[in-house]
Structure 1
Amino acid sequence: MSKRPSLIGGLSLPGAAPAAPVPGPAPETAPKAESAPAGRKPRPDVVHTSVYLPKEVHRRLREIAFTRDVKVHDVIMEGIDAALQRHGHPSVDALKPGRKREA
């Protein structure tokens, strides 16, 4: 197994000799669409987003999830589903690709 290249090995500092290029994988000839993180299959129908929560809100969501033996994601999705329906939109399940939507 070869040694992993240093993250700072390619940095050039003022007054220092230029660093030798670090050998790496050959550049790809064709650009990829969007690649998924290692070990995950690409999901073009899903958008990744972040939510910033106050610590106490996150703690309580974790508590709810633990009590119900589900993930925090599931609790958040329930809230998103309730907000969609409250504003007259179909449920999260109805909006998933491949689902038949009710008219």
Structure 2
Amino acid sequence: MSATPPLNAALFSPALAVHRRPRPLAADGLSKAQYRAVVCAIALAHIGAIWGVLQVPAVRQAVVEAAPIFVDLLAPPAPPAPPPPPVQPPVLKTPPPTLLTTAPA
């Protein structure tokens, strides 16, 4: 018989699991300059692949046919509302002039 105690199922429950911190991104062994170079190389590879695919006439025609669909999905912004008309000051009516007449003689 072995001298190890029997394993308890409660020790393996997720509630008791020890959460380990994820490794930091800098632990991959690349310096910042190397990391940037890898990111730029991947971006250039994608751009080159897209350019290469667009050299095929069938793909180019499909893109031209699908372009109006993408344009319709992007609605232009609503035009700005016109400014409200300026407030007109109220027009005051002048009272009729009083007529001064002389008494009949």
Q: TM-score range by the shorter chain?
A: under 0.3
TM-score (normalised: structure 1): 0.20
Q: Which has the larger radius of gyration?
A: 2
Greater relative contact order (Cα 8 A, min sep 6): structure 1 or 2? 1
TM-score (normalised: structure 2): 0.19
